[in-house]
């Protein structure tokens, strides 16, 4: 039987989708790129915003219309966080949370046998350990994502994810070492370590994120190790110094900001101030010259005044982010912020989003301009047009190069010569 996967959401979800696809392949299913031609369609959901939930419903309806006879499986964060709502989505034949993915194959086989709808959502247990999961092949040819942490204990006032993902659990180092070795043997040049709260890696095992980075850097075949999103307060001066010793670690740090205003951060239940965030950025830039700092910024959080937004805008401009994901606050039932007073209107959220996007676009372009004239190694990932190849520097600057030769999968020195609002352009050079 043919099976396809639709992934909604983050890099962790992408990793888990591939793991589930390989799990199904081991059970005799055949991977298929077309949902229309598949006998089974797996939808791995996200629930971080109300828009995410809307997209889940749309995807279910569209998949059912396109393939009425398929077995549709809904899994992931949305059913785990909102089991009653997910159970009502009758376009899904099997509804499975993300706490018991081991039931994926048995549930599908049971449905195929009985044709009776299955809703199998099990609450997270506080004593749960990291789900053993390994992936050998990825959708991208050059970069492999490895999930090393799951869950979050922070309970930011706006966030539903701790309810969808449970408490912090970490991949044991030996399992990570085995997975990294296999990925290196399969020819991948770059590893991206991901997690729901990546900075919390190892806290229940007596380990630290630095241990995972050092382990990932061990194989000779791996040229680069990159970190996913980080909570900034975990990056003490000692941690930064330890990370800086790993020459394979990419000098790109995605530090979730959310707001550049201390009063807003406090209402969000974030665990740092803007002054602390600024110091962390300064320490990173001192330890990793030419590093990029990327982030997430929320606008329109309940109670955010014009003055508070202005502070956040000014802070984003001051830090000079190389890239920022700007999004408006979205109410999530079950969170403290959902019931908070002084909710911001949609019109105001949209206007603040526009202003923040404009400022962070300026800082991105300024970062690109700073790269011009330098020679940087670029890992080329794809051919975007005839004889045109895109890739990334170690600090995650997007680069486009023209070449008559296929550059995919190679790390080559490039002199950066021009930039626009989206990327840098360059020419291959002989030496670095």
- The Cα 27–Cα 114 span in angstroms is 19
Strand pairing class (71-76; 94-96): parallel
- The Cα 195–Cα 402 span in angstroms is 35
Task: State the residue for tokens 């941690």.
Answer: 239
**DSSP three-state, residue 155:** coil
- 6: left (phi > 0), else alpha (psi -120 to 50), else beta? beta
| H-helix or E-strand spanning residue 194 | strand 190-195
- The Cα 427–Cα 234 span in angstroms is 38
Provide the edge-to-edge strand list for the sheet that holds 323-328. Answer: 229-230, 252-255, 292-299, 323-328
End-to-end CA distance of the chain: 50
| 326 bridge partner residues | 297
- Note down pLDDT in tens along the chain; length 432 residues: 999 999 999 999 999 999 999 999 999 999 999 999 999 999 999 999 999 999 999 999 999 999 999 999 999 999 999 999 999 999 999 999 998 889 999 999 999 999 999 999 999 988 889 998 888 777 656 889 999 999 999 999 999 999 999 999 999 999 999 999 999 999 999 999 999 999 999 999 999 999 999 999 999 999 999 999 999 999 999 999 999 999 999 999 999 999 999 999 999 999 999 999 999 999 999 999 999 999 999 999 999 999 999 999 999 999 999 999 999 999 999 999 999 999 999 999 999 999 999 999 999 999 999 999 999 999 999 999 999 999 999 999 999 999 999 999 999 999 999 999 999 999 999 754
Contact (Cβ atoms closer than 8 angstroms) between residue 246 and residue 240: no
Provide the edge-to-edge strand list for the sheet that holds 190-195. Answer: 169-170, 143-150, 190-195, 224-227
- The Cα 16–Cα 23 span in angstroms is 10
Question: What domains lie within the chain, and their CATH numbers?
Answer: 2-120 (3.40.50.12160), 143-370 (3.80.30.20), 372-428 (2.40.50.140)
Report the alpha-carbon angle 82-88-94, nearest 5: 85
- The Cα 17–Cα 34 span in angstroms is 15
**DSSP three-state, residue 413:** strand
- The Cα 315–Cα 317 span in angstroms is 5
How many C-beta neighbours within 10 Å does residue 288 have?
20
How many C-beta neighbours within 10 Å does residue 48 have?
21
| 31 bridge partner residues | 3
Tokens of 39: 């006998």
- 320: left (phi > 0), else alpha (psi -120 to 50), else beta? left
Task: Characterize 313-332 residue by residue with b for buried, 16 or more Cβ atoms within 10 angstroms of its Cβ, and e for exposed.
Answer: bebbbebbbbbbebbbbbeb
Q: Could you tell me how many residues make up the chain?
A: 432
């Amino acid at each position: 039987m043919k099976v396809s996967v639709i992934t909604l959401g983050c890099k962790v979800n992408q990793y888990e989708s591939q793991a589930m696809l390989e799990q199904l392949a081991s059970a005799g299913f055949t991977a298929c790129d077309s949902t229309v031609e598949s006998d089974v369609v797996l939808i791995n959901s996200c629930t971080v915003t109300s828009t995410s939930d809307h997209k889940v419903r749309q995807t279910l309806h569209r998949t059912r219309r396109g393939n009425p006879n398929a077995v549709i499986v809904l899994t992931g964060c949305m059913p785990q966080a909102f089991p009653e709502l997910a159970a009502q989505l009758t376009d899904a034949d099997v509804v499975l949370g993300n706490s018991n993915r081991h039931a994926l194959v048995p549930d599908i086989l049971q449905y195929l046998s009985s044709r009776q709808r299955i809703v199998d959502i099990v609450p997270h247990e506080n004593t749960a350990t990291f789900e053993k999961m390994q992936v050998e092949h990825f959708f991208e040819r050059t970069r492999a994502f490895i999930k090393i942490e799951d869950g979050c204990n922070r309970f930011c006032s706006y966030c539903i994810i701790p309810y969808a993902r449970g408490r912090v659990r970490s991949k044991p180092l030996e399992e990570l070492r085995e997975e990294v070795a296999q990925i290196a043997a399969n020819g991948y040049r770059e590893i991206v370590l991901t997690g729901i709260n990546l900075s919390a890696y190892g806290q229940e095992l007596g380990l630290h994120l630095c241990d995972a980075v050092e382990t990932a850097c061990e194989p000779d075949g791996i040229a680069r190790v990159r970190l996913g999103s980080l909570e900034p307060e975990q990056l003490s001066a000692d941690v930064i110094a330890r990370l800086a010793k790993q020459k394979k670690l990419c000098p790109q740090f995605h530090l979730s900001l959310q707001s550049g205003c201390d009063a807003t951060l406090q209402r969000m239940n974030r665990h740092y101030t803007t002054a602390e965030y600024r110091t962390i950025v300064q320490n990173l830039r001192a330890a990793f010259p030419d590093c990029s700092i990327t982030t997430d910024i929320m606008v329109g959080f309940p109670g955010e005044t014009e003055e508070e937004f202005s502070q956040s805008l000014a802070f984003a401009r001051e830090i000079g982010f190389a890239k920022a994901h700007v999004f408006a606050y979205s109410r999530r039932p079950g969170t403290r912020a959902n019931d908070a007073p002084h909710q911001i209107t949609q019109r105001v959220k949209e206007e603040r989003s526009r202003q923040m996007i404009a400022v962070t676009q300026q800082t991105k372009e300024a970062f690109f301009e700073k790269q011009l004239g330098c020679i940087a190694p670029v890992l080329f990932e794809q051919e975007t047009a005839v004889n045109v190849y895109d890739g990334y520097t170690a600090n995650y600057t997007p680069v486009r190069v023209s070449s008559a030769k296929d550059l995919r999968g190679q790390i080559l020195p490039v002199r950066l010569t021009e930039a626009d609002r989206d990327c840098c352009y360059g020419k291959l050079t002989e030496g670095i």
